[in-house]
A and B are shown apart, each in its own frame.
Chain A
Amino acid sequence: MDNLNESLPPPGRGAQGVDLLLGAFSPRALSEIVGPWSSGSSSLLVALISRVTLSGDRVAVVDATDAFDPTSAVAAGADLSRLLWVKCGGRVEAAWRAADLLVRCPGFGLVAVDLGDRHDQSRGASSFCRRLQRAVEQSDATLVLRASRPLAGTAAALVVSMRRLAVRWIGAPRPTRFVGLVSEAQILRARTRSRSAPREGQCVEIPWGL
């Protein structure tokens, strides 16, 4: 635990890492965010959702385990009126099929698929991912999968692996408040032509605040 007697920079500042990373998610490509719970992977997905809704585009959130928290999305700046939430009730296959339908439907700037950490998330994943990759290449949408481990293999143009570096509490000698955590995002795969986008192997440190 990184017990600091200081708070994180307020959200929006000190978050250049987020902006750098969000620029790496390209349209017409399948990207992956992977990491265990409490690594910051969901926060990165929510930040991407917020950025896309703020730019005025529609977002479809395919939520395999009904874990999406709209309050967190609003805290990240998301405009919920531009968001379509599909709750799959723990049925991972339904999530794959819903994502397949939504990627083919024009009008969405981002299709975000959160597969949770269910043990059956990898069942049939490679064939679904290849199918989704072909579909997204024909659309204008950005397709992002969030899972506990990489599932798409070579179908993914970008794979971002998240891990937690530190947990931030304030208060001494005993913590009185949890204020956030610090994640490290490592680019495991990057097939992008953008020079400003992070390169393969590059690590980006991201502070997340409550």
Chain B
Amino acid sequence: MRRIAALVLDDIATSISRQGDLYDVALAHSPRVEDGGPGVVYLDASGLGMLFGSEEHLARRLVGAAADRGLRIRAAIASSRIGALVACRWSGEITVIPPGREAAYLASAPLSLLDRSPEMAARLDRWGIRTLGELAALPSAQLFERLGHDGLGLQRLARGEDRRPLRPWTPPLIVEESAQLDGAVDALGPLADLAATLAARISDTLVQRGLSADQLEWICALVDHTRHEGSVAPAVPVNEGRAMTALVKAALEAHPPRGAVESMTLRARPVRVPATQAALDDPLPPSPRLITATLARVAALVGAERIGVPVLLDTHRPDVVKLDHDAWPRSPSDRSPRDPVGLRHARGALALRRLRPPASAAVTLVAGRPVEIRSERLTARIVESAGPWRVSGAWWTERPWFHDEWDVELGPTHGLICRLAHDGSAWWLDGVYD
């Protein structure tokens, strides 16, 4: 007979930061644990009687173990996840629902304890359904006709029916190496040598397990008892020691520790990279070590936040581009079948050179059209103009925006063709067509 225990954190605000502690409490009592979202963990409580005695005793133990870690939780044990969860949310610190009593126990619980969409909540409220028992008692066929599968699923939960097996949660694997220095060092050279030693050990572990690292983190203990921490995500997962060393070294050069270092811990977050078969006509892929080392050096040169693959966001607001820092441009072998080489040609499209940030400008208007522009960059007469072209957005929010854009040709001294924008209060020189 299946028995499930639910652990729910009392303090929702700390639920994300203390989720790890909650897992530790659950894993100390059962090997099968499921993540129930922020602040909620389920564990398989079947067959634990021989170890911990009665279910009530087990629930008290769980609450006590959490208290030892500074957590205030509620624990409930039932035959289903939903039964245990509702009991946690509705009752006191410890609840045990005897087998087969879920429906009776849940009947008087308020409907608000179930997670449901606002539309569904409003609809059930209009029908006068206030408790789980009232929802459970509705005829299923008619409920399905009115609310579809979502309604039927909600009714099953109200009846305490939850047949899905636990999805076991496994802690993420972290490969970590530490070393203590004989004496504190404040030069980057010895620190880089130490990082190379640790990276080589981590590399051995990763290669043995067929894994690669997609994030590297390090903690340096300093002589003044403070810590210097850093992390870097390679463009492609790596398992070569030299590549990892190059990344850590470039990051340490860009942000060196504030003082002499006594010890260092290097940690890798591993991922499994599936092997792929390249096509015969594909060129040899570049070495991940070289790519990683190059990008790390470029990032150290210009700043890690200034390098990446551009992604246009789904908005009409001009010049909203996200740089995906962790991505590496798609390889030639990722070619789409609809995008064969040679079938499409680059178009002769006029490019805009953006001024970032846009330059503030004073614009003189005559009969509603711009005739002169004065800004820090240039002062010129406008000989031709077309506009305004309005782009706007977020009009459904409290902070709507709009831009009236003008294309203007400046007088012969400059001869530029520019894009001006007026946002209702000021003029901006957005860019120059080139």
Write the residues of chain A forming the contact surface with B, with a CB cutoff of 8 angstroms: 1, 11-12, 14-15, 17-19, 22, 35-43, 45-51, 54-59, 66-89, 91, 94, 97-98, 101-102, 104-107, 140, 164, 167, 169, 171, 175-178, 180-181, 206-210
Contacts and interface: CB of A to CB of B under 8 A. Distances in A.
Top 5 closest pairs, chain A to chain B, by CB: A50-B346, A15-B348, A107-B286, A11-B347, A178-B407
A178 B418 CA distance: 11
Given A69-B319, A97-B301, A209 B349 contact: yes
B339 A54 contact: yes
A164 B312 CA distance: 30
Given A72-B351, A105-B294, A167-B409, A87 B417 contact: no
Interface of B: 283, 285-287, 290-291, 294, 297-298, 301-303, 306-312, 319, 321, 323, 327-332, 334-335, 339, 341-342, 344-356, 383-386, 407, 409, 415-417, 431-434
Contact of A105 (B286, B349, B409): B286
Given A69-B352, A74-B312, 20 more contacts: A1-B384, A12-B345, A38-B432, A40-B350, A46-B349, A46-B351, A47-B347, A51-B345, A56-B339, A72-B351, A76-B346, A76-B351, A77-B344, A84-B328, A85-B307, A97-B301, A105-B290, A167-B384, A167-B417, A178-B384
B134 to A, nearest CB: 52
Contacts of B341: 54-56
A54 B338 CA distance: 11
A178 B419 CA distance: 10
A38 B298 contact: no
Given A37-B353, A66-B354, A105 B291 contact: yes
B432 A37 contact: yes
Contacts of B386: 169, 171, 175-178
B346 A107 contact: no
Nearest to A57: B332
Contact of A84 (B329, B331, B334, B348): B329
B28 to A, nearest CB: 45
A47 B349 CA distance: 7
Contacts of A47: 346-349
A70 B349 CA distance: 12
Contacts, number: 211
B406 to A, nearest CB: 9
Contact of B346 (A18, A42, A89, A181): A18
B417 A94 contact: no
Contacts of B352: 69, 71-72
Contacts of B309: 80-81, 83-85
A40 B354 CA distance: 14
Contacts of B348: 11-12, 14-15, 17-18, 43, 47, 76, 206-209
B350 A67 contact: no
Chain A CB within 10 Å — which of B308, B312, B351 has the most? B351
Chain B CB within 10 Å — which of A72, A76, A181 has the most? A72
B306 A89 contact: yes
A178 B416 CA distance: 13
A69 B351 contact: yes
A70 B310 contact: yes
A113 B59 CA distance: 65
A54 B302 contact: no
